[in-house]
């Protein structure tokens, strides 16, 4: 039978051996992490962003690398999903982007602080996390099983370069247009905008952007008019969306950019 001394030796010996192995592995990890995390890209802005991340306890609601609380979204890939412009507008007034939903503190960050925070999250998104977060394995199966979206009749929308206002106005943070953006929007039902001219006229499109709930009461679309979109930009957006209609474009060729413009390189998703 085991004696007390043997039990003691098992405890002390086992602890020493395994703690030794742990130290050796930790040392190795410490040497390898800079390479795996692109530590060379940790600019002063990234480091400052990390401090902002800590000083406001972002981890108290969000997760990063899957670590934190579970009250708000995982942010490791947020720059890739939403885009920097969307995040810039969002960080100025988080609740404006998600009206009536779960709240986030409005931190009144300066422009520089916002840029640093985004720089930090951008760096995080490029760290090699051994495959985390995994691509949802069932998504493709679900998509295949779902009935195909009703295809609208009529000729296909034109292909034209997307103006910058769609990025700065944060539209492509949710909506896909000309094959760009839309990574986050597909999940919440934000439709692609290429053929939106079939559903809405100028007045309706303007109303959508100015006050989304006036068109659809329970919409998740934030009111970005006044926040990220001014009057001139609003006109530019609506003009562009309507210009994708091949019929009106053919009828009034002088009113819009020539339809013969070369098609932009569509990024396959």
- Map the footprint of another protein across residues 79-118, applying CB under 8 A: 98, 101-103, 105
Q: Smallest Cα–Cα separation from 209: which of 190, 222, 193, 191?
A: 222
Whole-number minimum distance, CB 141 to another protein, in Å?
9
Contacts of 38 (CB under 8 A, 6+ apart): 123, 126, 127
Query: x-or-dash pattern for another protein, window 38-57, by CB under 8 A?
Result: -x--x---xx--x--xxxxx
Cβ-contact 147, 201 below 8 angstroms: no
Tell me: does residue 258 bind another protein (CB under 8 A). Answer: no
Site for another protein in 178-237 (CB under 8 A): 184, 187-188
Site for another protein in 8-27 (CB under 8 A): 8, 10-11, 14-15, 18-19, 21-22, 25-26
Whole-number minimum distance, CB 182 to another protein, in Å?
13
Rg (CA), the chain: 25
Q: Smallest Cα–Cα separation from 159: which of 54, 22, 263?
A: 263
Whole-number minimum distance, CB 120 to another protein, in Å?
8
Query: x-or-dash pattern for another protein, window 121-150, by CB under 8 A?
Result: ---x--xxxxxxxxxxxxx--x--------
Whole-number minimum distance, CB 132 to another protein, in Å?
3
Whole-number minimum distance, CB 45 to another protein, in Å?
11
Number of residues that bind another protein (CB under 8 A): 73
Whole-number minimum distance, CB 114 to another protein, in Å?
17
Tell me: does residue 32 bind another protein (CB under 8 A). Answer: yes
Residue span binding another protein (CB under 8 A) among the ranges 31-39, 207-215, 226-234, 235-243:
31-39
Which structure tokens are listed for 149? 């979206």
| Residue 19 or 154 having the CB closest to another protein | 19
Q: Any bridge partners for residue 74, and if so which? A: 63
Tell me: does residue 175 bind another protein (CB under 8 A). Answer: no
Contacts of 128 (CB under 8 A, 6+ apart): 36, 37
Tell me: does residue 34 bind another protein (CB under 8 A). Answer: yes
Site for another protein in 60-79 (CB under 8 A): 60-61, 63-74
């Amino acid at each position: 039978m085991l004696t007390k001394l043997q039990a003691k030796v098992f405890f002390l010996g086992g602890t020493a051996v395994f703690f030794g192995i742990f130290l050796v592995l930790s040392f190795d990890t410490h040497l390898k992490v800079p390479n795996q995390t692109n530590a060379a890209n940790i600019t002063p802005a990234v480091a400052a962003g990390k401090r902002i991340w800590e000083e406001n306890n972002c981890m108290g609601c969000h997760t990063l690398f899957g670590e934190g609380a579970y009250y708000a979204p995982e942010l490791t890939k947020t720059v890739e999903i939403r885009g920097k412009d969307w995040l810039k507008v969002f960080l100025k007034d988080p609740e404006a982007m998600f009206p009536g939903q779960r709240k986030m503190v409005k931190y009144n960050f300066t422009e520089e602080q916002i840029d640093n925070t985004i720089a930090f999250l951008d760096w995080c998104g490029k760290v090699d996390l051994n495959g985390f977060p995994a691509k949802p394995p069932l998504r493709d199966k679900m998509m295949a099983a779902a009935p195909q979206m009703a295809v609208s009749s009529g000729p296909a929308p034109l292909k034209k370069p997307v103006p910058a206002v769609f990025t700065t106005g944060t539209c492509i943070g949710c909506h896909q247009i000309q094959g760009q953006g839309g990574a986050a929007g597909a999940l919440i039902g934000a439709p692609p905008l290429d053929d939106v001219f079939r559903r809405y006229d100028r007045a309706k499109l303007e109303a959508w952007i100015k006050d989304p709930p006036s068109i659809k009461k329970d919409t998740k679309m934030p009111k970005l008019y006044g926040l990220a979109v001014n009057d001139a930009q609003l006109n530019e957006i609506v003009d562009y969306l309507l210009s994708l209609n091949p019929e009106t474009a053919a009828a009034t060729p002088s009113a819009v950019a020539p339809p013969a413009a070369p098609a932009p390189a569509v990024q396959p998703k």
